[in-house]
Amino acid sequence: KQEVTQIPAALSVPEGENLVLNCSFTDSAIYNLQWFRQDPGKGLTSLLLIQSSQREQTSGRLNASLDKSSGRSTLYIAASQPGDSATYLCAVTDGGADGLTFGKGTHLIIQP
């Protein structure tokens, strides 16, 4: 059974810092990995999708990497801003009909 772990559970940093969020998964037979952002009480916003054959994806100040063999992904946020404050969730799928398996998320606070 796939399990996803995210470290740290919470993070508070001053504005302008670069930061890294970590995600690990136990079964390396994944089809893809997605990073999401969730604001309090809201739905999930897809940030980046990495296919299993890819090593990284970039969107603006965000960069996600994938090391499938070691079961790890990182989300790098450059020049953090207060508007980046949210919970960041990592999820994997094997491409079948079993849906996404999520971690519990990293609660990020960017201090102005």
Q: Footprint of another protein on this chain (CB under 8 A)?
A: 4, 31-32, 34, 36, 41-46, 49, 51, 89, 91, 93, 95-105
CB of 98 to another protein, least distance (A): 5
Distance CA 18, CA 10 (A): 15
Q: What is the DSSP letter of 31?
A: S
Q: Give the number of other Cβ atoms within 10 Å of residue 91's Cβ.
A: 21
Judge if the upstream peptide bond of residue 8 is cis by omega within 30 degrees of 0: yes
CB of 111 to another protein, least distance (A): 22
C-beta closer to another protein: residue 32 or 63: 32
Distance CA 75, CA 21 (A): 5
C-beta closer to another protein: residue 54 or 74: 54
CB of 99 to another protein, least distance (A): 3
